Amino acid sequence: MKSLLLSFFIFFQFTAFAQKDCDYSTNVVDSIGSYKSTKDYLVHERIFGVSSTYIFFSLINADGTPYLKVQTVTKSSDFIKAVCYDLSSKIYLQLLNGKIITLVHTQNETCGTMVRLEDEGKNTRIISGEFMFLKGSFEDLKSSPVSLIRIKSVTDTQDYIFKKELVSELMKENYHPENYFINYLKCIEN
């Protein structure tokens, strides 16, 4: 009986802490090159009064170069100020082991899109940016959870605390932002 319980306990621990499977939104290899992108993953959700903010991550491998795509969606009845990314924009990831990882924006200036949702009576601003991993950052990201992210744009700098578990009101699912890179970096490695 004890050995049966011990076997069950070991099996449960192994399956509970196993890395997540890769789920791609795009996975193409052709004569021009290769491109694969993981599905969007909610890493931050803030709903307060008439405003809400959502941040989604996806990982990209374009011809062997890894990127982090960050998409921020802000909804509000009030005016939403523009947030722009340019070549000087950066993302800083503070890990639980104390290290800070820097990612740099790869594209020219982009300020996203503003949409008015008449049925909700809200303004919606969507901005996306691709950020390149610097050499040597993968090993740290694969071994330590992220505690905080700082997004430095042209117009603003924002800090977001990553939760161990995020129960989303929007998506009605549970997410684990703190372990995003631990679970999904393997999906874009060569």
Q: What is the full per-residue pLDDT of the chain (190 aa) written as tens digits?
A: 444 333 433 333 433 444 468 999 998 988 889 999 999 999 999 999 889 999 999 999 999 999 999 999 999 988 888 899 999 999 999 999 999 999 999 988 899 898 887 777 789 999 999 999 988 888 999 999 999 999 999 989 999 999 999 999 988 999 999 999 999 999 998 6
* Spatial CB neighbours of 140, under 8 Å, sequence gap ≥ 6: 95, 97, 99, 101
The count of residues in the chain is 190
For the chain, what is the largest distance between any 2 Cα atoms, rounded to a whole number of angstroms? 64
Identify the CATH number of the domain defined by range 28-188.
Answer: 2.60.40
Q: Taking Cα atoms as reference points, which of 43, 65, 63 lies closest to residue 54?
A: 43
* Spatial CB neighbours of 98, under 8 Å, sequence gap ≥ 6: none
- Is the alpha carbon torsion for 73, 129, 190, 185 positive or negative? negative
CA atoms within 13 A on the CB side of 164: 1
Its pTM stands at: 0.85
Question: What is the C-alpha separation between 122 and 78, in angstroms, rounded?
Answer: 8
- State which amino acid sits at residue 89: S
